[in-house]
Amino acid sequence: MELQAMHSPARTPTSDHPASDFEKPEDIRALLTNAYRQLEAVERHGHSPCRSVGSTQFGRNISEELNTIMKASEMVRVKLHNRRAAVVMANVEFDLWQSNQNALVGVVKQLADRLAQITTVSMASEFDTLMARMNTPEATRGVDKLFSATEAELGATHSPGRTEKPA
């Protein structure tokens, strides 16, 4: 089936390639592409056309219906009072659907973990850069000058339209 082909994804973190190997944007892009393909496969499988059968008809012919479902590897939607009540599918189809869904969940978890790592590293880097700038001799002199300035000196630095926040 076409869903099984989805199990040969683009490079994803494994024991051979841990998540820390995924530093470059193209690695994240590959992970996103794989997640999208897995999602498409699950959606296609989950929304594949299946015939609808009334619950009474299904119940009266349950043995025949189950044999048909198993032989054709199809899904049948059972209706109760003209509303969808259940979907019956062959065990092989369910296993395939479940494995694709599990693969998708795994890829999404890897992606979320990696994005959290990248965000944390990025924020830490920004903080370290800001701290380094704040600890330069020039910044220290600027802060000392600011707190020792008189009211007149502070007023002289005011530039209407440039130094205040827009409304």
Over the stretch 9-22, which tens digit does the pLDDT of each residue have? 434 444 444 444 44
Domain ranges of the chain: 23-117
- What's the average model confidence in pLDDT over 138-146? 91
Position of tokens 């996103």? 32
CATH topology of domain 23-117: YefM-like fold (3.40.1620)
Mean pLDDT of the chain, nearest integer: 76
Residue with tokens 């999602």: 39
Pair of tokens at residue 127 = 């903080």
Residue 77 pLDDT exceeds 70: yes
Helices and strands per DSSP (H, E), number in the chain:
6, 3
- pLDDT for residue 139: 92
Q: What is the pLDDT of residues 23-43, one digit of tens each?
A: 566 666 777 777 677 666 656
> pTM to 2 decimals?
0.39
